[in-house]
């Protein structure tokens, strides 16, 4: 018997989900599990440090940079929508705005860490709060950097003129990751700056 003979006479209507989207959702599920463990550790250790400083003493709420990161979800959505419509120029503009907002967020984290380390003398080994704070916020920052790297590669392709509307689906998959990074920040922000403080 050969495989051809298994083909039935009538064609079958056959619709399956896109590989990129499914793969990205799986990756997001795995990343969510990793973040869950760090969030659980953070919550478990709130108030358990044997020495200072406490979150209240050293943390200030990064409202401006949070607004930057969260609004980048909107700009990346507008970018993908522009690309679907075939407008590469509008895409490039919104995409660049997304990168700028993400970079602004990273600048915010960098200045916060610089202040904590050099002015407050507060490091990852200071106490339990330091350990959980730097690892959870750092894990998120690492994901922002990975996202920014991906976004920048697409930006480079856009500037070189090799990005067209047919890449909209792939770009959309990358945007899913960026939305995830933003959504995780909502959790991290709540845990670190609202509950933990």
Q: Is the torsion defined by CA of 44, 48, 53, 54 positive or negative? A: positive
CA neighbor of 31 nearest in space, from 181, 152, 163: 181
* Interface residue with another protein, options 72, 109, 127, 158 (CB under 8 A): 127
CB 84 within 8 A of CB 165: yes
Residue 125: CB atoms within 10 Å: 8
Of 33 and 194, CB closest to another protein? 33
| Contact string (CB under 8 A) for another protein, positions 47-66, x = contact | -xxxx---------------
Contact 86, 108 (CB under 8 A): no
Selected binder of another protein within 26, 43, 61, 63 (CB under 8 A): 26
Q: In sequence order, which residues have a C-beta less than 8 Å from that of residue 22 and are 6 or more positions away?
A: none
Is residue 16 at the binding interface for another protein, with CB under 8 A as the rule?
yes
- Rounded to whole angstroms, the maximal C-alpha distance in the chain is 77
Q: How far is the CB of 129 from another protein (least distance, A)?
A: 9
Nearer to another protein, 49 or 71 (CB): 49
- Residue 37, interface with another protein (CB under 8 A)? yes
Q: 35 or 91, CB closer to another protein?
A: 35
**CB 83 within 8 Å of CB 91:** yes
124 is a contact residue toward another protein (CB under 8 A): yes
The site for another protein (CB under 8 A) is made up of 1-8, 11-12, 14, 16-19, 22-23, 26-27, 29-38, 41, 44-45, 48-51, 123-125, 127-128, 131-132, 135, 139
């Amino acid at each position: 018997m050969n495989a051809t003979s298994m083909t039935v006479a009538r064609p079958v209507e056959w619709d399956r989900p896109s590989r990129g989207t499914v793969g990205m959702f799986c990756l997001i599920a795995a990343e969510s599990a990793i973040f869950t463990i760090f969030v659980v550790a953070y919550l478990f250790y709130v108030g358990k440090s044997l020495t200072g400083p406490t979150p209240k003493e050293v943390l200030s709420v990064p409202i401006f940079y949070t607004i930057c990161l969260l609004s980048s979800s909107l700009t990346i959505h507008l970018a993908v929508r522009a690309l679907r419509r075939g407008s590469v120029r509008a895409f490039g503009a919104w995409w660049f705005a997304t990168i700028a907002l993400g970079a602004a967020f990273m600048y915010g984290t960098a200045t916060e860490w610089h202040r904590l380390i050099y002015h407050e003398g507060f490091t990852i080994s200071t106490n339990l709060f330091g350990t959980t704070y730097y690892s959870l916020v750092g894990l998120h920052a690492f994901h922002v950097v990975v996202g920014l790297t991906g976004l920048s590669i697409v930006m480079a392709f856009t500037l070189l003129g090799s990005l067209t509307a047919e890449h909209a689906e792939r770009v959309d998959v990358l945007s899913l990751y960026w939305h995830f990074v933003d959504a995780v920040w909502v959790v991290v922000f709540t845990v670190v700056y609202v509950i933990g403080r």
